[in-house]
Structure 1
Amino acid sequence: MKSTVTECVRSTDSSSSWALDVVCSDWVRLVSGSGLCSGSVQIWDQSWTWLCEEALDLQGAEVLCRELGCGAPSLLQGAVSPLGLQTFYCEGHESALRDCPRSSSENCSSGAAVNLTCSEPLRLVGGASRCAGTLEVKHRGEWRRVENYGPWNLGATAAVCRALDCGSAVSGGDRDDFPQSRVWEISSDCVMKSTVTVTECVWSTDSPSSQALDVVCSDLLNRPIISLSVLDGASESQLQGVRVMPGSKFRVKCSVEPQFPGGSFQLLSPTVNLTQNHTLPAVNHSAHFLFSDTGPAHKGNYTCVYLLQVFDHAFSSQSHALQLYVGGSDSDLIFRVLVVLLLTLIIILLLFIFWKVKARRGAIEPAEVELELEPFRSS
């Protein structure tokens, strides 16, 4: 094994326009991670020391990721102490961690260090979703599209999809129809290595180019939308659902934002019987499922699944669940109970008045009899 970089250098007689670009941070680094953008945080203080787990908050993590040339922090473990005992007090706009106000702290063992994962500064633009489009990379603080150096294959596409958290690879290839502009170059052989990140395989080139890389990943379908309408009878909107009276007819609509032509919708219903044959082709990016004679069996969650075949691959996307309630609502029940109680009170009041009147008449009648008999007694 070679011990120095200079021992790895050899001469060549051929001329070349290639050069190796290296960006280093002389004060902070991430170690023992999967690449330059993840690992445990170390800072230089006469020697490399671990950064204590309570030393960094989210703003400090954003500064650190930016300093290392990475994207925004996607995972921050062992940080932000409940007591707020930070070492760095960043506002988030600083260009380097050392620019943040700092308090003294003790050195930490490796088991108590902050673990940070920064996202890679790459994106897909101009496609139907964030998981499809032209590959762009932020390098040296500048976003540029990427030109492939050498053959590009599905393995390299898969690495890009993983870095973007976009599922598996569907397709990837070169394009040559862009206006001439400065681009970054990338090596597919480098991208497919498990020990490096995608952005570590990018370098600058002085020659303008019209080429680019198009990437399509599996997580490319928009989430379908589900809605329910009653065709006859009464209905009432509920939180995340609709209440339908028994015997009514209702329709479930599955739709999706225009993205790809074709496809189909499957409706997942409460019972096995209801789910049979409930797959319809998408017409104008939607499908309608009709139900009649609503009963207890229709009660439950309804979900739309959008199915699509792209590049000989099957993809699907599922909507949020919509709850269907059957029968009278709680407000109806409460109203009926109140009506019954009111009628009961009225009846009780009438009976009480009747009893009082009757009792009063019973108390007066004997006195009237005595007054009528008094003249006869005195004679």
Structure 2
Amino acid sequence: MRIVNGDHHCSGRVEVNLHEKWGTICDHDWDLRAASVVCSELGCGFAESASRGAEFGPGSGMIALRSVHCKGHESRLIHCDAFTNRNSFCTHQNDAGVKCSGTLMEPRLSVLSPHFVFSAGESVHFYCIIQPRDRISNVHLYKHGVDTPLVTQSADPTQIGVSLVLSDVETFQQGSYSCQYNIRGGFPPHPIRSPPSHPVNITVVDLLTPHHWYNTSSEAPAGSVIKGESFNITCSTPRQYPGASFQLRLVRSNGTVRQSLPAVSQCVTFTFPNAQSSNEGYYYCLYRVQLGGRTFVSRESQPLPIAIKGKAVLKVKVGI
């Protein structure tokens, strides 16, 4: 289907391609319902009028459809009742046309924050700018790959845009988002959807609490390391992010000691080659990452107590 001979691409004579040939439509049953379907199918907004009597000039060639009956809610003209051989006297002076409101303008979506990376549980505030503002009913926020909107908000004609809040985001909600608006039009009145905005991508970070454990010689009592011997503490996380690091925090009686290692994998090992009393205390692991100009830190692991013990001395009693 196409619209030709109008003052712009959304108004003019309606023609359809039937058996690889373009032809016109007879206006005997042509009404606003049919015009609404045409405008919607071509992305031309809503129908302002159904043109009759070759208002946009007579066509040439065949009259492809002698009668068209639409209810107005069909998505395409071919879904209406259309007849090619209805007994009616039609000439090209009866060619039908439409005047549509025009292509709906694409909205613009933005995020009302200086960053696009969020922590799980935060709210993301989007803003959808819409034009024109009259006739708009609802504005929707869509996630790429999801058919139903995640947020719907009614429009205020006095405002240039609508706030769309995605509350308590989770990691599965990260991805690409766009907004669309519905405009009231057609006959009977039904919502017509605008084109989608350009996408906006967000990332959601959810740092899980890391686990940790230690290894030392089998001779050491449980929860202890023998002084002068080596021991390792391993930190791990089930979810890894690029550029992250593990931090090991030692809380002891005279203060706190911290050290970090890059998280090149899901596990890293801190090595202590010569255990001393200064290594005694409670060890905690946490996971840290910088993304999108923000720093995210996990909860600390449960405390891992380690005591430093001297070597056991074996005493042998010799009787006389």
Give the TM-score taking structure 2 as reference length: 0.39
> Whose RCO is larger (CA < 8 A, sep 6+)?
2
More helix by share: 1
Give the TM-score taking structure 1 as reference length: 0.35
Determine which structure has more spread, i.e. the larger CA radius of gyration.
Answer: 1
More strand by share: 2
